[in-house]
Amino acid sequence: MSRKHGSKANVDYKARLEYKLYLARENPEPVFDVSECALKHVPSGIYSLCKVFRKKSLLMYDNKLNSLSGGGALSDLSLLTVLDIHGNEFTTLPPDIMCLSSLKELYLQDNSIRKLPNEIIYLNKLTILNVSRNNLKQLPSGIGELQKQLTTLNISHNKSLQKLPKSLGYAQQLTNLNIDSLNLSYPPQDILDGGTIVIIAFLANESGIDYSPETSISDTDISRNISSEDMQTVHHNKSNDVQEHRQNALLEVEKNIKQQQEYEIEIQSTLKAHRKKLLEDLALQQIQLEQELEKVQQERDTNRARLLSYIYNAEKEADNVIKEFLKNSEEERQSQAELLEREKQEEMQLLSSCHSEQFMLRMKDTLFAMEKLLEEEMCKARKLEEYTKYRDYTAQSLLILEVRNSDHLAQIVHDQEKSRQDLVDRLRQDEVLQKAAVAALLERSDARSWSIVQQVNLVQSQLAALTNIELERRKLEINQQLVRVAPSLALNKN
């Protein structure tokens, strides 16, 4: 729909329209193209130009048109075989559309049409009618009058459409009926699931007629210009020849259908082989990618184990240092306790010796004992003073040593924490690098898979397009053979 309104503001639609009008006059091709010109009204005189230059195709798609008026009289388009006005803003069509008596293809998709005019049934040469993506609520009740030529009818994506008219059962030449995204209540869903032939056959039965597309142009229609007496004579004299000729034609058609089916089977087998090969290539690439990922994972696990081992050894060494430090501190404390105990023992021994000497000297000379005792007390005081100094010095040395040991232990813990933090940072950096490597590998794998899927889709679309083209060619050959058979039947009857 972006083409419909123009995606670029700087497009000179007036110059484009003038150029296309010039081409329409000068180009000998039977196509009058004024599409994608942002037209709100049909330019004046276009229909007359189509008549003068004997144009057979009028293309006005992807504009902003909501009416066919303004271009002249629609009767001037009696030679027109193709009218393409899709991608506009039409809500209805004029009854004068019946004046396009030679029209074979009518494209109305991507508009806002709510109802088709009943006069459309007079377009008895119409083979393709596309009214998809509109707002249709119903189809004309007499649309089956287009039974002679109509082969393609696209009414998909009309959400308000509820029923198909029974008269559509008369259009037995219809081979392509597109009803995608419709919420139809009639015919029943099981009939809709059966496809075009089942739907037309059901509607034909509902209308009280037989479904026989190969004879939809019946002998009755052919014999309208022949008198009943002549017809009886023809049937009486040449019935055997006609029957034999018809059987030969049917056998030829069956042969062509069989060849077409064999060709389709061959194409399907080729497509399956290509698909199988592509799937095998995808599986091989997937295995290679998994192997690369496994190698990366193994390297990552090895690096992680090496780092964990290094951390474990560092922690073990730190624990040994701490234990040794604690052991040394404990030994120093034990030596200090032993020294204190020895000093106490010495004090007790001194006291006991003093008491014994005092007891022995008390009897001899009290004064001499008192002098001796005073001297000993003075000696003891000096020793106590020396001991006190020595103890204070020892305690001070122990405190200094303990402070040094504490500082050394704190430094060891700090170094261990720093080394541990460095190891953690290194692990994080390695993990980020490994994640980036894995992401790069995954992106490369996704890009390869996407490109392969795109190639598969391209091959499938090309094969499907080739298949559709071949099927259309086969159908066209069959229709041409049927057309060639029909005049021969008419001549044989004559």
Give me the pLDDT at residue 40, please. 92
- 217 and 486 Cβ atoms separated by less than 8 Å: yes
Task: Print burial letters for 441-460: b (CB count within 10 Å at least 16), e (below 16).
Answer: eeeebeeeeeeeeeebeeee
Give me the pLDDT at residue 370, please. 76
pTM: 0.46
Angle between helices 228-361 and 366-493 (to 10 degrees): 180
Give the strands of the sheet with 128-130, arranged side by side: 31-33, 57-59, 82-84, 105-107, 128-130, 152-154, 176-178
Q: Which run of H or of E encompasses 408? A: helix 366-493
Question: Which residues neighbour 322 within 8 Å (Cβ) at sequence distance 6 or greater?
Answer: 409, 412
Q: Which amino acid is at 226?
A: I
CATH class held by domain 2-223: alpha beta
Tokens of 155: 């009414």
Q: Could you give the residue range(s) of every CATH 3.80.10.10 domain in the chain?
A: 2-223
Task: Print burial letters for 78-93: b (CB count within 10 Å at least 16), e (below 16).
Answer: ebbbbbbbbbbebeeb
List, in sequence order, every beta strand (DSSP E) within 209-317. none
- 100 and 83 Cβ atoms separated by less than 8 Å: yes
Rg (C-alpha) for the chain, rounded Å, is 54
Give me the pLDDT at residue 253, please. 54
Give me the pLDDT at residue 264, please. 74
Rounded CA separation 299/306 (Å): 10
Please list the pLDDT of the chain residue by residue as tens digits (494 residues).
Answer: 444 444 445 678 888 999 998 888 888 889 999 999 999 999 988 999 999 999 999 999 999 999 998 888 999 999 999 999 999 999 999 999 999 999 999 999 999 999 999 999 999 899 999 999 999 999 998 898 888 789 999 999 999 999 999 999 898 889 899 999 899 999 988 888 888 888 988 898 888 888 776 544 433 343 333 334 444 443 444 445 545 655 665 576 567 667 767 877 888 888 888 878 888 888 888 888 888 888 888 888 888 888 888 888 877 887 788 888 788 777 777 877 888 888 888 888 888 877 777 777 777 777 777 778 888 888 888 888 888 888 888 878 888 887 887 788 888 888 888 888 888 888 888 778 878 877 878 877 777 788 888 888 888 888 888 888 888 888 888 888 888 777 666 666 55
Rounded CA separation 362/109 (Å): 144
Taking alpha carbons only, the member of 446, 440, 438, 172 closest to residue 285 is 446
∠150-154-160 over CA atoms, to 5°? 125
Residue 216 DSSP code: S
| Residue 208 phi, psi dihedral angles, 5° rounding | 80, 25
Residue 208 DSSP code: T
Rounded CA separation 149/152 (Å): 9
Tally Cβ neighbours within 10 Å of residue 286. 13
Using CA atoms of 300, 301, 305, 308 in order, give the dihedral in degrees to the nearest 10: 60
Burial of 119 (0-12, 13-18, 19+ CB in 10 A): middle
Q: Give the DSSP letter string of 365-400.
A: -HHHHHHHHHHHHHHHHHHHHHHHHHHHHHHHHHHH
Rounded CA separation 490/494 (Å): 6
Cα separations in angstroms, 31 against 16, 84, 362: 16, 11, 156
Rounded CA separation 468/449 (Å): 28
Rounded CA separation 152/200 (Å): 12
- 489 and 246 Cβ atoms separated by less than 8 Å: yes
∠452-455-461 over CA atoms, to 5°? 140
Question: Which residues neighbour 193 within 8 Å (Cβ) at sequence distance 6 or greater?
Answer: none
Rounded CA separation 196/201 (Å): 8
Tokens of 240: 């055997």
Give me the pLDDT at residue 214, please. 57
Question: Which residues neighbour 256 within 8 Å (Cβ) at sequence distance 6 or greater?
Answer: 474, 477, 478, 481
